[in-house]
Structure 1
Amino acid sequence: MNIELADFQLKAIADLMEAMECDKKEIILKSCTGSGKTIILTHFMDEYLKSYNNQVFIWLTPGKGNLEEQSKEKMDRYIHGSRTKLLCDVMAGGFEQNDCCFINWEKLTKKGNNALKDSERVNFLDYIYHALEEGLTFKIIVDESHQNDTIKAEEIIDYFKTDKIVRCSATPKNYKDAYLIEILEEDVIAEGLIKKLLLINENFEQNISVEDQVSYLMDKALTKRRKLHSEFLRRKAPVNPLIVVQLPNKSDVLLESIETYLSAQGITYENNQLAVWLADKKQNLESISENNAESIVVIIKQAIATGWDCPRAHILVKLRENMSETFEIQTIGRIRRMPEAKHYEDDLLDCCYLYTLDEKFTENVKRSLGKGALEERDLTLKREYSHFTLICQQKTNVPFPRDAKLALKVIKKYFSSQYNLDGKAVENRKKLEAHKYDFNTDIIDYTKSGELATLSKEEFDNLNEIKIREKLTTHKHGKEYHHCVAEIGMKVGLDYNNMNTIVRRLFLKDLRSEYTLLILEIRELYAFVINNKPRLIDDIRIAMASETAQIKIESNMITEKPWSFPLNYMFAYDGSAKDQMELIKNVYKGYRASAEVRSEPEKIFEKYCESNNHIEWFYKNGDKGNEYFSIVYEDNAGKQKSFYPDYIVHDTEGNTWIIETKGGFSKSGHSEDIDKFTSKKFAVLKKYLDKYNLHGGIVRQDKQSSELCICTEEYSNDIKDENWKLLKEIL
């Protein structure tokens, strides 16, 4: 099964490969639920085993959920020809080179566990000893590491005499002296793998009087589920959204209460619409993780099996009793995956929902997820703004393939421009040599020699540099060549096969074409890539992001159509913020100053709009989805992207303004804008404004004067430039 890895997943694999070269034993992979941690780790193991000899991976999992079998099955599915084993396979034949062994370590550590008898335990340790004697090296992966942070678990790891331990968790604990690789939640959301927001207690009344929490919360949840299901049906998406009802751990009375309520709604075990997953009661679980499964409600307790993966779970109802329970972020993780691993560009479907009267649980959720967990209510567009229209631009749905041919064109164009290369390979070689590319046919490495009085950088830099030569053999250095090509590819979002195709088309003698820059024999190619890896990484990275190398994608250009404000708006806000004032100039009734998620520039601009007598109304645009206003531009690799300007504003003179807010300028004039595409967005915004005779620009705060400034004619990243005007003098 071929699977296209997301950019953040490729980066995580590259980071793991680098971490294996560092001097730290412990490597922490912090990865939120839904980020494809197993996909990342299985591809990492595959890349590492291709690059290094005599290696064995031990993947340790906790719990009773057969997580080791699930993980092994995924590696078998994703990595063709992988050598995977379970504990029983190890006991039948020991360890061999390139093994990836998936072991539930509770079978090795728990008292009374009959997985290994005493004699078998001895055999298991003997297999480890024999493997070490034969020169095999163990690398350890500890899955869900927060669950087995125990002395006994560490004893098991010690048996393997490993020099590298990769610990994986959404909530890692107490590993200070470790190499940390963190997958940012924002990157996972941007790829569409998990939902944009968790919305808490949607449309709850301000003062609630509840006789029965089950009926109150389940009424809300079932109403929301019907809306979700209706929208999935309208889109012909094969998804039956699931409600997860979580009971406290000691709650037999609540279980009966929820079963009675659901039965009255026609939701029962008998008609397969109700499932249960408790220690002593399991029913209708066989296909519950499938997107079109029949069940619409599943009842669980806090201690749900580790690794349970059900992407159609959309709603969590957390019931409470008068007792305190430990909050686990993994519980929320159960409803955060996207059912088809993509966003639908619809806030209803791209968010998940929590209904609870448990105030402590709500506080813990907000503390853990920050701005990813907000309260929410539906707002309605004020009638007087229902006829406003603009022309909206949308991308033609032409995919931007991460394929070798497009990348080959971009990289070839960059090299030709940067180093003035032409079609003559001999001349090209001389020009690259002049720019310090190494064409030695031996493998070259460097070390230092000399004396140090102190450990200062200056003294170290003054040491003698010694060049080490090693004769290249394709057999010995084949893995190193593969490792270099894979690392170069991962740096720019290409897999090994695509990157290898590019390297060969550019530099190999036997594949001459319009893209050929050099004509190297296979041995020369191996040496060229190995000796010049850092240079190639830098140049190919720049090539993929360089405007000079931009290649236009053939497409039907841009789709333009009339656009109006959505009639309803899913308004997320921070209910704990002190300022809950309604901003009456917003086009939606009930829009509050506590609106989230908002950047600091956006908050400042909204206050400016509300207090400015020259502004009649303003609209806060969304940042993704066909229901919001967008303009299309191309990034530096030629990929079409949608630009969603932050605000549409109408002044008292009848002019419409389109405004994009960005990070400000510090008191010393330093730019705090982190968006590298701001100048591109300004250019496409200016072109759009001129085409439709509108006003607008980029707004940023000058922190030296605390004033908002606007750039409307020509973009500059220098606040002292005359193109920056005080906003209050313009709008």
Structure 2
Amino acid sequence: MKLKEFQLEAVKKLFEAMETPARDIILKSPTGSGKTIILTYFMHQYIQSFPKTVFVWLTPGKGNLEEQSKAKMDKYIHASQTKLLSDVMASGFEENDSCFINWEKLTKKGNNALKDSERTNFLEHIQHALNDGLHFVIVVDESHQNNTIKADEIIQYFHTNKIIRCSATPKGIATAEIIEISEEEVIAAGLIKKMLVINQDFPQIIETENQTEFLLGKALAKQRELRSEFLKIDVDLNPLIVIQLPNKSETLQDSVERYLETKGLTYENGQLAIWLSDRHENLEGIDTPNAKSSAVIIKQAVATGWDCPRAYILVKLRDNMDETFEIQTIGRIRRMPEAKHYENDILDSCYLYTLDEKFTAGVKMALNKGALNACTLFLKNEYKDITLIGEHRTMVTSTRNPQKALQAIASYAEKEYGVGTNKAENKTRLQTAGFELSEDIVKHTFSGETATLAFNSTDMNKIKVTERLDTHIHGRDYHQKIGKIGLEIGMEYSYMNTIIRKLFDKNFKYSRKILALEPRAVYAFVINNDDKLRYLVREAMAYEMAQLKMDIPSKSYYEFHIPQSCLFTYNGDAKTQHIMEKNVYQNYLSSAAPRSTPEVKFEKFCERSASVEWWYKNGDKGNEYLSIVYQDNSGKQKLFYPDYIISVKGEIWIVETKGGFDRSGNSQDIDLYTPKKFKVLKDYLTEHGLKGGIVRNDAATDELCICMDTYSEDINSDNWVILSSVLE
């Protein structure tokens, strides 16, 4: 298991939240963000660092979620000590346990999972654990479903002072510590799809004899298209259609099954699966990428906890009854099957087909700009031969490489402390730099007298307190310190431990070893110097980034042509839907979305300007769009996708739009890299003999202005010129 940077950051924040006075910690994370991975990794690390801990993970009753969560922890964390309710009933709670318990087995009236005598026995197990000095940390999964009086009553039995509540849609607790993982972070990491596309290519007026068959037909066509796109990139993945029926809809279910049979999808041939509370068919291995089933029938109740990353398409069928919208339903189709984007709009999107207006409205409200209507647009013939030169990066450094991190730390230690191959000399140099080299655990305190609490420690006597190292007692301290050092740079515990051992432990081979300590002395070294080691590691990473020089060419070139077709997303609820005639695509609508305010203004300007012959809106990610290479402040290569390519009196211009200036001239641009992007855009335009610049709106005059020569944040400077006067 390799955690993403945002997941390790969430683990770090969980550790920090555990040290605050707040009882409740809310982990708000979108479906598909790897919440179980984050929590199980945190639980394992916490247990290693803090003795006498027992985690109790409470789940709602639907879908055997507690068994799924336990299975994931067993899979991800090989040394974990996990239990279900039946295991607790047999042997009680023990130190280092992570217990996964179905909430409703404890709270639901008439539930025979726990008879009265067993319930008493369960409470006795809790009391025995408390008497033995164990303390409970409670994790409430899908907490939005468990915010009930009975639930709180159960939590009270554990006498816990820490409850971690996690959900994509948590209910607020005023005094809680909130850790929020943004959807943008999860999308950027490639774990969930970039866009939810609603009712793609639906006509304005649908004439059909059977609405169900119309929707299913659209879904099957999309499934075939997705399968074909995967085969083009040599990925054997069978995209899954999730067909959600309303509860109590036997007649509708029957019509769905009959229609799918005419298309060759049946339970008998394995191409159709079903998951209802009283019926499971063809579910074995349904989550494997190339599973045989192309569609699964579910009902409302299965939304929570179901995980099948190859699910791409949701068909939401309705009856005349109202059903509440659940964001978790959409979550079922948002995961990326291989936890990465394919840089292909078709494969990086998921698809909803429904005629349920309330459901569509709920989706749009929940996902905001992430849910849009869509259709396929085709390039007009006269623009098919337009050719530009694009740039790709040749060096990608998206995650921390443990081997490179080790080399960077060794290099920085050599630079900062002057260490080399002589271990005795290295010891002296580290001591001079303030490192504690005792084989005992060393702590410091002060003694003296003061009349006020605002005393100066320099007026006091500094006292050194030493304690004999005991690897059993201090092992947890060592583990905690290594974990914190690693989280400082987004490095997992196991990698950070190996790095420290290679640098300082005599039993680990490494050519640039700094000290050759006995293994037990490494414990003392880390515990005594954890702050200095955190500083060393953090500074080494920053130094490595700053010094990064590319031995290979920094970029490669490719021929860019405007894509022959595009997945066009728009706001179907917008009042105006007129066609923008100068766009290179047929039937490009004025309600195109998502679009920033500067983009909307610029597109309208292009349509009105007599000088602009045609314009193209570039994509913001993917190999099919025009990209230019630049470096961020840490030296990491990134791709810049300019917003627009336009033709002005036969000349190609490339334009980037940014947030404008308010009436007082203050900047509303939130992009920190705008000056860098301006420079690389200008260099690119000069290299290829093109024109262009950055366009921003001046609210004082309500005019679009362009900067073409020297970038400035002062709209009143001569560097900004009114766009219409430049293009005349």
1:659 is aligned to 2:650: no
Structure-2 separation of matches of 1:718 and 1:307? 52
Q: What displacement does 1:609 show?
A: 2.7
Tell me, yes or no, if the aligned pair for 2:395 and 2:554 is still in contact at 8 Å: no
Residue 180 (structure 2) aligned to one of 182, 203, 208:
182
Tell me, yes or no, if the aligned pair for 2:62 and 2:301 is still in contact at 8 Å: no
Paired AA for residue 301 in structure 2: A
Instruction: Classify the secondary structure of the residue corresponding to 1:355.
Output: strand
Map Cα deviations across residues 348-373 of structure 1 (whole Å, 9 max, x no partner).
Answer: 11111111111111111111111111
| Alpha-carbon distance change, 367 to 701 in structure 1, aligned in 2, over 3 angstroms | same
Instruction: Classify the secondary structure of the residue corresponding to 2:483.
Output: helix
Tell me, yes or no, if the aligned pair for 1:583 and 1:592 is still in contact at 8 Å: yes
| Alpha-carbon distance change, 512 to 266 in structure 1, aligned in 2, over 3 angstroms | closer
Aligned residue number for residue 613 of structure 1: 610
Structure-1 separation of matches of 2:58 and 2:178? 19
Q: What displacement does 1:726 show?
A: 4.3
Tell me, yes or no, if the aligned pair for 1:633 and 1:642 is still in contact at 8 Å: yes
Map Cα deviations across residues 222-259 of structure 1 (whole Å, 9 max, x no partner).
Answer: 11111111212222212111111111112122112112
Aligned residue number for residue 585 of structure 2: 588
Structure-1 separation of matches of 2:43 and 2:545? 37
Q: What displacement does 1:670 show?
A: 4.7
| Alpha-carbon distance change, 447 to 334 in structure 1, aligned in 2, over 3 angstroms | farther
Q: TM-score, normalised by structure 2?
A: 0.89
Residue 92 (structure 2) aligned to one of 78, 89, 94:
94
Structure-1 separation of matches of 2:102 and 2:451? 50
Paired AA for residue 254 in structure 2: E
Q: TM-score, normalised by structure 1?
A: 0.89
Q: What displacement does 1:19 show?
A: 0.8
Aligned residue number for residue 563 of structure 1: 560
Tell me, yes or no, if the aligned pair for 1:376 and 1:572 is still in contact at 8 Å: yes
Map Cα deviations across residues 615-661 of structure 1 (whole Å, 9 max, x no partner).
Answer: 22221111111111112334455543322222222211x33222233
| Alpha-carbon distance change, 511 to 84 in structure 1, aligned in 2, over 3 angstroms | closer
Structure-1 separation of matches of 2:368 and 2:618? 22
1:498 is aligned to 2:495: yes
Structure-1 separation of matches of 2:675 and 2:238? 43
Tell me, yes or no, if the aligned pair for 1:664 and 1:672 is still in contact at 8 Å: yes
Aligned residue number for residue 257 of structure 1: 255
Structure-2 separation of matches of 1:202 and 1:605? 26
Map Cα deviations across residues 302-343 of structure 1 (whole Å, 9 max, x no partner).
Answer: 111631111111111111111211111111111111122221
Tell me, yes or no, if the aligned pair for 1:663 and 1:674 is still in contact at 8 Å: yes
| Alpha-carbon distance change, 415 to 382 in structure 1, aligned in 2, over 3 angstroms | farther
Tell me, yes or no, if the aligned pair for 1:428 and 1:518 is still in contact at 8 Å: no
Paired AA for residue 559 in structure 1: S
Structure-2 separation of matches of 1:502 and 1:713? 48
Aligned residue number for residue 145 of structure 1: 143
Q: What displacement does 1:523 show?
A: 8.7
Bigger drift between 576-585 and 373-382 goes to 576-585
| Alpha-carbon distance change, 86 to 280 in structure 1, aligned in 2, over 3 angstroms | closer
Instruction: Classify the secondary structure of the residue corresponding to 1:442.
Output: strand
Residue 378 (structure 1) aligned to one of 366, 376, 379:
376
Structure-1 separation of matches of 2:172 and 2:442? 45
Question: Aligned-residue CA RMSD in angstroms?
Answer: 3.3
Aligned residue number for residue 354 of structure 1: 352
| Alpha-carbon distance change, 538 to 324 in structure 1, aligned in 2, over 3 angstroms | farther
Q: What displacement does 1:260 show?
A: 1.8
Instruction: Classify the secondary structure of the residue corresponding to 2:567.
Output: strand
Q: What displacement does 1:63 show?
A: 1.5
Residue 50 (structure 1) aligned to one of 48, 63, 75:
48
Map Cα deviations across residues 271-325 of structure 1 (whole Å, 9 max, x no partner).
Answer: 2212222233332222222221111121111111631111111111111111211
1:602 is aligned to 2:602: no
Paired AA for residue 15 in structure 1: K
Aligned residue number for residue 455 of structure 1: none
| Alpha-carbon distance change, 121 to 537 in structure 1, aligned in 2, over 3 angstroms | same
Residue 622 (structure 1) aligned to one of 589, 594, 619:
619
Tell me, yes or no, if the aligned pair for 1:34 and 1:193 is still in contact at 8 Å: yes
Q: What displacement does 1:493 show?
A: 1.9
Map Cα deviations across residues 59-79 of structure 1 (whole Å, 9 max, x no partner).
Answer: 111114221111111111111
Alignment identity in percent?
A: 57
Aligned residue number for residue 226 of structure 2: 228
Residue 571 (structure 2) aligned to one of 571, 574, 579:
574
Residue 632 (structure 1) aligned to one of 616, 629, 633:
629
Q: What displacement does 1:546 show?
A: 5.9
Bigger drift between 546-555 and 53-62 goes to 546-555
| Alpha-carbon distance change, 723 to 512 in structure 1, aligned in 2, over 3 angstroms | farther
Structure-1 separation of matches of 2:723 and 2:705? 5
Structure-1 separation of matches of 2:177 and 2:447? 25
Residue 278 (structure 1) aligned to one of 271, 276, 279:
276
Describe how 1:52-131 pairs up with structure 2 within 5 A: 52-131=50-129
Q: What displacement does 1:525 show?
A: 7.2
1:245 is aligned to 2:243: yes
Aligned residue number for residue 549 of structure 1: 546
Map Cα deviations across residues 444-463 of structure 1 (whole Å, 9 max, x no partner).
Answer: 479999999xxxxxxx9x56
Tell me, yes or no, if the aligned pair for 1:448 and 1:463 is still in contact at 8 Å: no
Q: Which runs of 5+ in 2 are unaligned?
A: none
Aligned residue number for residue 216 of structure 2: 218
Structure-2 separation of matches of 1:160 and 1:468? 41
Structure-1 separation of matches of 2:578 and 2:448? 66
Bigger drift between 375-384 and 625-634 goes to 625-634
Residue 688 (structure 2) aligned to one of 692, 699, 702:
692
Instruction: Classify the secondary structure of the residue corresponding to 1:588.
Output: coil
| Alpha-carbon distance change, 599 to 442 in structure 1, aligned in 2, over 3 angstroms | farther
Structure-2 separation of matches of 1:603 and 1:450? 66
Q: What displacement does 1:606 show?
A: 2.4
Aligned residue number for residue 345 of structure 1: 343
Structure-1 separation of matches of 2:34 and 2:328? 15
Describe how 1:396-545 pairs up with structure 2 within 5 A: 396=394, 402-410=400-408, 442-444=442-444, 462=454, 470-471=465-466, 473-474=468-469, 475=471, 476-503=473-500, 540-541=537-538, 544-545=541-542
Paired AA for residue 247 in structure 1: L
Bigger drift between 498-507 and 573-582 goes to 498-507
Aligned residue number for residue 166 of structure 1: 164
Instruction: Classify the secondary structure of the residue corresponding to 1:674.
Output: coil
Tell me, yes or no, if the aligned pair for 1:71 and 1:102 is still in contact at 8 Å: yes
Structure-1 separation of matches of 2:222 and 2:447? 65
Structure-1 separation of matches of 2:545 and 2:33? 34
Map Cα deviations across residues 1-26 of structure 1 (whole Å, 9 max, x no partner).
Answer: xx221111111111111111111101
Paired AA for residue 346 in structure 1: N
1:328 is aligned to 2:318: no
Map Cα deviations across residues 359-404 of structure 1 (whole Å, 9 max, x no partner).
Answer: 1111111111111110001111111111001112223476655223
Instruction: Classify the secondary structure of the residue corresponding to 2:3.
Output: coil
| Alpha-carbon distance change, 501 to 710 in structure 1, aligned in 2, over 3 angstroms | farther
Structure-2 separation of matches of 1:448 and 1:213? 85
Bigger drift between 179-188 and 678-687 goes to 678-687
Structure-2 separation of matches of 1:304 and 1:446? 61
Map Cα deviations across residues 418-442 of structure 1 (whole Å, 9 max, x no partner).
Answer: x696768589658856xxx999973
Structure-1 separation of matches of 2:82 and 2:31? 24
| Alpha-carbon distance change, 707 to 530 in structure 1, aligned in 2, over 3 angstroms | farther
Tell me, yes or no, if the aligned pair for 1:421 and 1:431 is still in contact at 8 Å: no
Instruction: Classify the secondary structure of the residue corresponding to 1:88.
Output: helix
Bigger drift between 72-81 and 230-239 goes to 230-239
| Alpha-carbon distance change, 180 to 119 in structure 1, aligned in 2, over 3 angstroms | same
| Alpha-carbon distance change, 218 to 448 in structure 1, aligned in 2, over 3 angstroms | farther
Structure-1 separation of matches of 2:328 and 2:151? 21
Q: Which runs of 5+ in 1 are unaligned?
A: 453-459
